[in-house]
Structure 1
Amino acid sequence: MILDTPSLYFRAFYGVPESMTAPDGMPINAVRGLIDMIATLVRKYRPDELVATMDADWRPKFRVEAIPTYKAHRVAYGNTEVVPEALVPQLPVIEQMLDAVGIARMESAGYEADDVIGTLTHQAGGAVDIVTGDRDLFQLVDDSRPVRVLYTARGIRNLQVVDEAFVTTKYGIPGRAYADFATLRGDPSDGLPGVSGVGEKTAASLITRFGSLEALLAALDAGVTDGFPAGARTKLAAARDYLRVAPKVVEVAPDAPLPAADLALPAKPRDPEALVRLADHYDLDSPLNRLLDTLPK
């Protein structure tokens, strides 16, 4: 089980009231919410291995160089992401909590959590569950292994299981073609323009007809006219420069450099004394006990 930790702690922050505070008055809602999410996931799915991925770089240079608008609307200053003020001091506590419990925490310099997830999924020898609220990771589903996404849009207790059939039913595309579909459609939340005038329906029909973005572009360059909706060839030709670089932005990396780590779900806390200090200082006894109760005995 791979956790898209930023996606989860943002969801916890907005889902748990800020009135949930530590004894010193510091908001602790994201920490408590994340701990309870992990406890719920471990109790229900019983993973053998568990890793919490992090953003070492939320807006990697290689993506910005390809498409400068990538996440540009979410920049506070420099290359710093807009993060709610009350969430900022909770992030180190989340990292300390994961380390003290013994849940593997992994990031890669110059890459996003999505890329760490993509690389771990590529390297995995067996089944993988990816827990996220980010549709971009639908590109990793693979029934043959199987790799599936546990999508949090409806809450951690009402997860949508996303596999190839879900992607086909939801978007009308081959189950493993989400990245190509998203490249054509674009994603305003990430500053990705897509192809002007090509919406979901046209993007889906193009990917279904040609099978992949690569095959579509080959047909476009070869002058093929069959299979293109009215006006689509002109729009695609106008967006050729975008389509040349967009895949490196949309597709998650399968080869981010990762440190060696023990991903096994711990049977007991790695650092009990540190965990006690965290529990006492931030009043986390109840959620931490719920999490520890789910660990394998």
Structure 2
Amino acid sequence: MLLDTPSLYFRAFYGIPESVTAPDGMPVNAVRGLIDMMATLVRQHSPDEIAACMDADWRPAFRVAAIPSYKAHRVASGAEESVPDTLAPQVPVIEEVLDALGVARIGVPGYEADDVIGTLAIAAPGAVDIVTGDRDLFQLVDDVKPCRALYTVRGIRNLQMVDETFVKEKYGIPGRAYADFATLRGDPSDGLPGVAGIGEKTAAALITRFGSLTAMLAALDEGGTDGFPAGARAKLAAARDYLEVAPAVVKVAHDVPIPDVDLTCPAKPRDPERLVALADRYNLDGPLNRLLAVLSDR
């Protein structure tokens, strides 16, 4: 089980009132929410291995070099991400809790959590569940492996199971083609422009017709209009420079240098004393006791 940890703690932060605080008044809604999410996930899915994947770099240089607008609207100052003032102090607490629990926490300089997830998913010898609220990770679904996304759009207790069939039925594209589809369509939330004038339906039609972005670009370069919806050829030609660089931005990395780490789902905390201290300081007794009970019952 690979956790898109930033996606989950942002969801917890916005889903739980900030009135949930530590004894000193510091909001801990994201911390408590993430712990309870983990308890639910472990109880429902009983993973043998689990990794909390982190953003060591939320806006990697290689993606910005390719498309400067990538996540530019989220920059607060310098290279820092715009994060709510009451969430930012909770992230180090989350990291401390994960470490004390013994849950593998993996972030690699120069890469996003998505890239860590992609590398671990590809390398895993068996079935993989990716827990995320980010559709970009749909590109990793693989019915043969199998690898599926547990999509949090409807809540952690009502996860949407995303496999190749879901992708095909939802978007009208081959099940493994989400990255190519997203490259054409674009994603304003990530500052990806897409191809002007190419919406979801046309993007789906193009990817379905040609099978991949690479094959579509080859047909575009050969000339002719076969397989291209009316007007699409000119729009794609105008966006040729974007289409050359965008795949490196949209596709998650598969070759991140992951450190050697034990992914075994812990049955008991790695550092019980530290965990007790964190529970007392941040008012985490309830959620931690629920998570520990689930872990010990596996």
Q: Same fold (TM over 0.5)?
A: yes
SS at the partner of 2:217?
helix
Q: Confirm or deny that 1:264 pairs with 2:264.
A: yes
- 2:113 counterpart residue number: 113
For 1:177-196, what aligned pairs fall within 5 Å after superposition?
Answer: 177-196=177-196
Indicate whether 1:21 and 2:34 are aligned: no
SS of the aligned residue for 2:3 comes to: strand
Q: Distance in 2 between matches of 1:190 and 1:286?
A: 36
- What secondary structure, in the 3-state scheme, does the structure 2 residue paired with 1:52 have? strand
Q: Cα distance, 1:224 vs. partner? A: 3.5
**2:153 aligns to what SS in structure 1?**
coil
Counterpart position of 1:51: 51
State the match for 1:245 in structure 2: 245
Partner of 1:139: 139
In the alignment, which residue of structure 2 is the partner of 1:60? 60
Instruction: Work out whether 1:214 is the aligned partner of 2:204.
Output: no
- The alpha-carbon deviation at position 6 of structure 1 amounts to 0.1
Rounded Cα–Cα distance in structure 2 between residues aligned with 1:172 and 1:41? 29
Alignment-derived partner of residue 176 in structure 1: 176
Taking the aligned partners of 1:234 and 1:182, their CA distance within structure 2 comes to 19
State the one-letter code of the partner of 1:272: P
Q: Distance in 2 between matches of 1:279 and 1:224?
A: 66
Following superposition, the deviation at residue 277 of structure 1 comes to 0.1
AA in 1 matched with 2:17: P
User: CA deviation digits over 1:46-99, x for unaligned, max 9?
Assistant: 000000000000000000000000000000011100000000110110000000
Alpha-carbon separation, structure 1, partners of 2:12 and 2:240: 40
Runs ≥4 in structure 1, deviation > 2 angstroms? none
SS in 2 for 1:153: helix
- Cα distance between partner residues in 2 of 1:182 and 1:91: 29
For 1:224 and 1:69, the matched residues in 2 are separated by 32
Structure 2: distance between partners of 1:261 and 1:85: 32
Cα distance in 1, alignment partners of residues 18 and 195 from structure 2: 40
Q: 1:144-159, aligned counterparts within 5 Å?
A: 144-159=144-159
1:225 to partner: Cα distance: 1.4
Count of residue pairs brought into register by the alignment: 297
2:32 corresponds to: 32
Equivalent residue, structure 1, for 2:167 = 167
Taking the TM superposition and a 5 Å limit, the aligned residue runs for 1:63-102 are 63-102=63-102
Letter of the aligned partner of 1:242 in structure 2? Y
Alpha-carbon distance between aligned partners in 1 of 2:218 and 2:24, rounded to the nearest angstrom: 61
What is residue 292 of structure 2 aligned with on the other side?
A: 292
Distance 2:224 2:37 in 1: 50
Q: Secondary structure at the match of 1:105?
A: strand
State the one-letter code of the partner of 2:28.
Answer: I
Structure-2 separation of matches of 1:80 and 1:283: 29
Normalising by structure 2, report the TM-score: 0.99
- Matched residue of 1:295: which SS? helix
Query: What are the ranges of 5 or more consecutive residues in structure 2 without an aligned counterpart?
Result: none
The CA RMSD over aligned residues, in Å, is: 0.5
Structure 1 position 296, deviation (Å): 3.9
Q: What is the DSSP-based 3-state SS (H/G/I as helix, E as strand, rest coil) of the residue aligned with 2:87?
A: coil
- Matched with 2:223 is 223
Q: In structure 2, what residue type is equivalent to 1:257?
A: P
TM-superposition CA deviations, 1:182-235 (whole Å, max 9, x none): 000000000000000000000000000000000000000011311100000000
Counterpart-to-counterpart distance in 2, 1:201 and 1:129: 28
* Cα distance in 2 for residues equivalent to 1:283 and 1:106: 25
What is the CA–CA distance in structure 1 between the aligned matches of 2:265 and 2:189, rounded to whole Å? 34
Q: Which amino acid aligns with 1:151?
A: Y
> Structure 2 CA distance, aligned partners of 1:272 and 1:224?
67
Q: Match for 2:277: what amino acid?
A: R
Q: Counterparts of 2:256 and 2:79 in 1: how far apart (Å)?
A: 20
Residues 25-55 of structure 1, C-alpha deviation per residue, up to 9 Å, x if partnerless?
0000000000000000000000000000000
Cα distance between partner residues in 2 of 1:92 and 1:45: 27
The CA deviation at 1:122 is: 1.1
* CA distance in structure 2 between the partners assigned to 1:170 and 1:261 by the alignment: 36
